[in-house]
Amino acid sequence: MHYMQTKKPIGTTARTGETCPESGVWQAISTPSTTAPIAKGNRMPPYNGVAVTWKLIRHA
């Protein structure tokens, strides 16, 4: 049986240390901010040496 894989919606968030829920471009919710391509299944990275919340802004 084939199941459609549904993407997580734009705006999904994940914290540093969590498993990335969706491949795409993620933006750190911090000042200063940055964006990074992160693949599904990878660990969400820290930014500037601190734990941040990342927000999905574009699907891969």
Q: Is the pLDDT of residue 5 over 80?
A: no
Q: Is the pLDDT of residue 37 over 70?
A: yes
> For a pLDDT cut of 90, what percent of the chain falls above it?
90
pLDDT (average), residues 25-50: 97
**Can you tell me the distance from the alpha carbon of 54 to that of 39, in angstroms, rounded to the nearest whole number?**
13
Residue 34's pLDDT band, with cuts at 50, 70 and 90, is: very high
**Domain ranges in the chain?**
13-59
Residue 56's pLDDT band, with cuts at 50, 70 and 90, is: very high
Q: With beta carbons less than 8 A apart as the criterion, state whether 40 and 6 touch.
A: no
Q: What is the pTM of this model?
A: 0.89
Torsion 6-56-9-16 (CA) sign: positive
